[in-house]
Amino acid sequence: MKNLFNTKIYALLIIAAAPLQAQSDVSVTARTNRDTVAIGENFVYELNIRVPDTSVPIGEPAADFSDAEVVQIRRLEPLTKDGTREEKIQYILSGFKLEPIAIPGPSLRYLIGKDTLFLRANDKTIFIRSELDSAMTDIQPEKPIFYGEVRWWLIALYVLITIGVLAGAAWLIYRWYKKRQELKNRPKPEPVVIPKKPHEAALEALDALKISGYPERGDMKLWHSEASTIIRTYIEKQFGVPALETTTSELIPSLKRSKVIADAEVTVLRRMLEVCDLAKFAKYMPSVDDCYELLELAYSFVRHTMPTGEAQPEVKTGV
């Protein structure tokens, strides 16, 4: 009976000692990869946590990084061995002040069964180094100022060369501007107009009259007036006989006396001019066919009286 009682007491002691044995394997340590960093340089702040494998974390570690800037947080894969779980949490931090960065130890809570485990890491301080501290060692002392003789003649030579170059450039610009103004103000040459020969002008005028359409519109007076003017202009320019300001009765005898036109052609000319006079002054109304017959006589008269060797191809003047 006594042995049974001792056995129960021993078992209770083992059960009571189990939590104490588990808590002996619990720890949290804070460390950094560097104790001194340059301003703006990243460094690693790491938490190493050892807790029982059966523990459950309550929330995240209560870390105070108010003096630093958190760049990244990395939680590494936990390792379990002999009922103990090892966790690592890494914080990539950076400092932008020249003051030391004080990081209080973060607080952690874990649930073990019905009990709550409270842990706190150690404090850490990181010192910030300015880049100017190392840059100042690279600054060399100023070189002494060299005092020597000033060569005024050389300076004067440079000044004269500069003035000469500027004056030459100004003169070239002035010459270019004057030449440009002269070309701009120079009167443009008038196009050379080669005067047409009398018979060429007469034939072109007859061609234009042919396509005018006056007979079809009933403008018989205008048609015959144009035809008379074309023939009289041709005679005046080709033979030098005043024909525009003379009447038909004056022109025909003058041409017969001068013998510049054959009598047969003078006869044709008289017939054409008399028909034109009747249409202009006597209200004579020829037919459309009569108009184009008169035009054919005009073509024939010009071709037979033009200078020899310059005959033009005949143009049919039918309606």
Mean pLDDT over 75-101 rounds to 85
Does the structure show a pLDDT above 60 at 136?
no
CATH, residue 77? 2.60.40.680
298 within 8 A of 275, measured Cβ to Cβ: no
Residue 266 lies in a domain: yes
- Indicate if 106 and 205 belong to the same structural domain: no
pLDDT at 256 over 80: yes
In a domain, 101, yes or no: yes
Domain membership flag for residue 215: yes
Number of structural domains (the chain) is 2
Is there a contact between 264 and 293 (Cβ–Cβ < 8 Å)?
A: no
Average pLDDT on 51-57 reads: 86
Rg (CA), the chain: 63
Listed residues 112, 130, 148: the one ending a domain: 130
Range with the poorest average pLDDT among 105-119, 141-155, 288-302, 304-318: 304-318
pLDDT value at residue 159: 93
Q: Is 175 helix (H, G, I), strand (E, B) or coil?
A: helix
Q: Is 147 inside a domain boundary?
A: no
Residue 190 resides in a domain: no
Domain boundary among 88, 103, 130: 130
Residues 30 and 113 in one domain: yes
Picking from 56, 54, 48, the residue whose alpha carbon sits closest to that of residue 27 is 48
**Parallel, antiparallel or unpaired: strands 107-112 and 56-57:** antiparallel
Could you tell me if residue 155 is inside a domain?
no
Q: What element of type H or E holds 165?
A: helix 152-185
* pLDDT of res. 83: 84
Contact call for residues 261 and 303 (beta carbons, < 8 A): no
DSSP E strand boundaries for the chain: 27-32, 36-38, 42-52, 56-57, 69-75, 79-81, 84-94, 101-103, 107-112, 115-120, 124-129
Of 30 and 137, the one with more pLDDT: 30
Alpha carbon distance 316, 295 (integer Å): 10
- Which of 130, 163, 185 terminates a domain? The answer is 130
Spatial separation of the C-alpha atoms in residues 74 and 105, rounded to whole Å:
18
Within a domain: residue 312? Answer: no
SS3 of residue 155 by DSSP? helix
Is residue 236, in this structure, part of any structural domain at all? yes
The pLDDT value recorded for residue 204 is 94
Lowest mean pLDDT, pick from 10-24, 79-93, 142-156: 10-24
Average pLDDT for the chain: 81
**116 lies in the same domain as 30:** yes
Short-list 108, 58, 48, CA closest to 84: 48
pLDDT of res. 310: 56
With a cut of 90, say whether residue 207 has pLDDT above it: yes
Query: Domain limits at 35?
Result: 24-130
Q: How high is the pLDDT of residue 206? A: 94
294-299: average pLDDT? 93
The confidence score (pLDDT) of residue 129 equals: 81
Read off the CATH number of the domain in which 205 is found. Answer: 1.20.120
**C-alpha to C-alpha distances, 109 to 51, 61, 63, 90, 302, nearest whole angstrom:** 10, 8, 12, 18, 130
